[in-house]
Chains A and B, each alone.
Chain A
């Protein structure tokens, strides 16, 4: 049912759904799972944490990045029976730091769950498309962010 025509150098094929129902016989090169150049998700093939994963947003790079890294790697590498039970101190440090940046680390319950679900999808597809990139720019919250640009812009006027 497909229909094909050539316009100069350009070939145009129209296909129906049925045409494309048969599995593709195109051959793809098998990926090297340990390709060091490839972007990975949050956990690298060797089990280490990929701090540069876009899925982390501004977590690892923000002002509390250090505390976050300590807490999360403590948890990640924890061998305790109750995983992470020895990391309480680290997590508390992180909390303390994050409390100082309510704007960066919003503590609003409403926003958190949705954010998790969004970000959870990102690392699985290591290559995020455009929207993910925009989103990956971290915890953006409603009111504070909108106010910030205004002071930024206003002084020149005055």
Chain B
């Protein structure tokens, strides 16, 4: 008490002093008449300590009393609330059995074949490959999920619909209380036990036939090799005839096709393997109460599981089917479940064998975890799962973009059995970004924002994802998979890097050590400061475009608004402007593009070509505003108002800021890595190496190009090339950046180009164009090729254009320069350092060669001849 008062005496004057100072200042500024507030305060204060001690005390008591009271009330309410929640939870759990059984029946109906086949299979073990794999599951049922990894390749299809449902139940309802959740699927089975038991008995009968079938496998197997041999030899002979690379695919594809026919005999082989473990389940049935036996198959699960990532997908179908069987056979089930619930097994199950030894629990835990982990997208659930399990990754790739994926592939190709872990803060598996501003906008499919599929240059459709989820390994199993693999941790961010200790720390505190590490963090889109300062209303109406979600949201927004303004005249801005411009007529959407340069791509293309391109962009329905420096942005009367430096004002509904990329170099500080002061990005040598075990690739790498000097490149192909190179060097290739990356862009039907090297409009250029008339070709080509130029191969379009061009020989009177097609050389010290191939395609190797040579050429027109710009 005494102390309190002395402290108060000392501090109070200070506090009041400062507050009165403020007060005084404010008063002085606003109200000049009240001149002495400070003096008044001071008087009060001096009186305070002497006379006001008693009041201070009472005040103190009152406050303490109030706090105590408040605390008591709070404690009471929390306890009450907890009880309430507990009751709710219990009632929910009680109500859940129905739901779970419903789901089970759903699952069973979803895979009705599966269950039917269970019965059928008993009688006829010889069925189609697909079915065969399914029946093999019953054999596993007694030994919960011991074998699922071994087979079920074809079952993945049936598992997909199931997966969706299954994942709903655990991830949707469980979320916070995984432990409790695990219980629920079990409990329902007690009432429904009679049913499962009925099911279980046929299954047990089936068991023997299946074991038989595996016994009968040898004869079948004997048949198998022969067809395979003959076909393999066929493919072999074909191979010899054809080119080597075809051979690969041939041999790959043919056997693959053969495998369908060969599937029958092969299946037994697989089963023969499984029969190793099959005895155990049968033993388990006989001595159904031996916990040791069950614990064995369970412990196998983690070991065998890893071998096939897709199998883990398939697993998801199983647990619901399986759970009924083991339970009736084992009377311990319910206590075991309770135990497992206490142990919160989801993550622990694999790490602590003790828990898994408590039978039943692990398969159930897996059923909850399985839908989550094999499709690594959902961030929240994975967070709980892999963190404790994944402690080390031989190859750790930070960032989940193109560079990272390219590196992963390269590592896997060169280092057999390599275990590669990709950590990305995006929720998606690695995908390619170019289609987000290109092809996807020209898709006819109304569902394109969901399907994310586009037509490639060769007319074939594909997804923007590099690989489907089954390509990847479950991160928790990465350390165990037989032949290694690539795993992706999505929705996780690396925040700290310990170079000395060779480890990184994630946002959630998890630490992962590595042998070799690649930083491929890419970058984040820049924004204009004037937009950032403009407040929330403007920011809500601004898109910074880079990811899938940006594509989705811009696609949606563009249908809801009347006017969109793209700020930026580079690749992304111009591509998006053209994409939206093309839609503008249909959607009644005004599309504005503004940038400070004189024309589109003004920093890349020489001025004349930039101007020409701008005209083409305008023709796409875009209102282009050049020389536009944004001075101020505000939100007025439901519109975003953009004020330019020269006084012009633009009103719009939505802004897309495409003003460049800021390389993500947050790890530089903790890792002690150098950031390039000119170009930004991590500074690496010609081998893309930052430190002994650390490489950098993609947008974030500022590397030394032996031919062209220090650079940083933000293009898709560069991510591919540098990622590949980094992957090679991480596996000991010691190669410098040698293969020049390229990039390409298309702006409407008249402009498509590919480029390589340093393409900077500030350099002197020499452009060599195919002479043509004003009525010339690209237009005609576009008209002929119809609206969807994107879906046409560019070469095709050009082919048409050339024919048209040659058909109408150019008359000298027409000197309206039309840069239909040609080649532009960018010079530095008279040496070609960059080449743009303007509506000329498939000539990149020539351009690459010229840059690689680095020779000075007396007459670039002669060099241009090498490109045959008049040909297709």
Contact = CB atoms under 8 A, between A and B. Distances in A.
B844 interface: yes
A12 B862 contact: no
Interface in A100-158: 100-105, 107, 109, 112, 114-116, 118-120, 122-125, 127, 129-131, 133-135, 137-138, 140, 142, 144-156, 158
B697 to A, nearest CB: 15
A52 B410 contact: yes
B771 A16 contact: yes
Looking at A112, A116, A155, which has the most chain B CB atoms within 10 Å of its CB? A155
B770 interface: yes
Contacts of A28: 849-850, 853, 855, 866
Looking at A16, A37, A120, A133, which has the most chain B CB atoms within 10 Å of its CB? A133
Contacts of B309: 63
Nearest to A123: B245
A146 B465 CA distance: 9
A67 B308 CA distance: 13
Contacts of B817: 12, 14
B766 interface: yes
Contacts of B413: 51-52, 56, 60-61, 65
Interface in A5-44: 7-17, 20, 22-29, 31, 36-39, 41-43
A130 B439 CA distance: 13
B368 interface: no
A112 B815 contact: no
Nearest to B719: A133
Contacts of A9: 763-765
B463 A138 contact: no
Prevailing SS type, chain B contact patch: helix
Interface in B237-286: 237, 239-240, 243-253, 255-260, 262-263, 266, 269-270
B461 A104 contact: no
Looking at A26, A94, A150, which has the most chain B CB atoms within 10 Å of its CB? A26
B770 A158 contact: no
B789 to A, nearest CB: 14
Given A2-B771, A12-B769, A155-B378, A99 B153 contact: yes
B414 A51 contact: yes
B756 to A, nearest CB: 10
B253 A100 contact: no
Given A12-B608, A137-B432, A101 B153 contact: yes
A133 B453 contact: no
Contacts of A39: 738-739
Looking at A37, A43, A72, which has the most chain B CB atoms within 10 Å of its CB? A37
Contacts of A140: 462-463
B868 to A, nearest CB: 7
Given A26-B862, A107-B256, A149-B452, A11 B461 contact: no
Nearest to B850: A28
B606 interface: yes
B409 interface: yes
A142 to B, nearest CB: 7
A148 to B, nearest CB: 4
A120 B249 contact: yes
Interface string B367-382: 0000010010111110
B862 A151 contact: no
A102 B157 contact: yes
Looking at A31, A82, A85, A137, which has the most chain B CB atoms within 10 Å of its CB? A137
A23 B862 CA distance: 8
A72 B160 contact: no
A83 interface: yes
B766 A13 contact: yes
Interface residues on B, range: 35 or more
Given A13-B769, A28-B850, A66-B416, A146 B463 contact: yes
A87 B232 contact: yes
B468 A151 contact: no
B154 A99 contact: yes
Contacts of A94: 252, 255
B322 to A, nearest CB: 20
Contact of B717 (A25, A92, A122, A130): A130
Contact of B256 (A8, A15, A95, A158): A95
Interface string B799-819: 000000010001010010100
A84 B228 CA distance: 12
B255 A95 contact: yes
A99 B71 CA distance: 64
A62 B16 CA distance: 71
B451 interface: yes
A151 B766 CA distance: 51
A66 B270 CA distance: 18
B869 interface: yes
A56 B248 contact: yes
A2 B860 CA distance: 13
Contact of A69 (B416, B427, B716, B736): B416
Interface string B854-870: 01010101111110111
A133 B717 contact: yes
Interface string B759-782: 000011111111100000000000
Given A127-B844, A129-B754, A101 B414 contact: no
Interface stretch (B165-173, B498-506, B645-653): B165-173
A91 B771 CA distance: 55
A151 B815 contact: no
A155 B233 contact: no
A37 B163 CA distance: 46
Given A29-B855, A131-B458, A144 B607 contact: no
Interface string A36-79: 11110111000000011111101111110111110110011000
Given A103-B470, A123-B245, A112 B738 contact: no
Looking at B411, B470, B764, which has the most chain A CB atoms within 10 Å of its CB? B470
A75 B429 CA distance: 34
B266 A92 contact: yes
Contacts of B452: 149
A66 B418 CA distance: 10
B451 A146 contact: yes
Nearest to A61: B412
B332 interface: no
B385 interface: no
B845 A127 contact: yes
Given A63-B485, A88-B228, A156-B378, A29 B853 contact: yes
A158 B168 contact: yes
A112 B253 contact: yes
B558 interface: no
B460 interface: yes
Contacts of A3: 771, 815
A155 B485 contact: no
Q: Which 4 residue pairs spanning A and B have beta carbons closest together?
A: A100-B153, A61-B412, A24-B865, A152-B377
Given A9-B763, A92-B262, 14 more contacts: A10-B767, A28-B849, A28-B866, A39-B738, A61-B409, A61-B486, A66-B483, A91-B232, A94-B255, A104-B468, A135-B456, A138-B467, A151-B164, A153-B450
22 contacts: A7-B606, A11-B767, A13-B767, A13-B861, A55-B248, A61-B410, A63-B470, A63-B473, A65-B416, A85-B236, A92-B266, A95-B259, A101-B153, A103-B468, A104-B310, A104-B467, A112-B257, A120-B243, A134-B456, A135-B456, A140-B463, A146-B451
Interface of A: 1-3, 7-17, 20, 22-29, 31, 36-39, 41-43, 51-56, 58-63, 65-69, 71-72, 75-76, 82-85, 87-88, 91-92, 94-96, 98-105, 107, 109, 112, 114-116, 118-120, 122-125, 127, 129-131, 133-135, 137-138, 140, 142, 144-156, 158
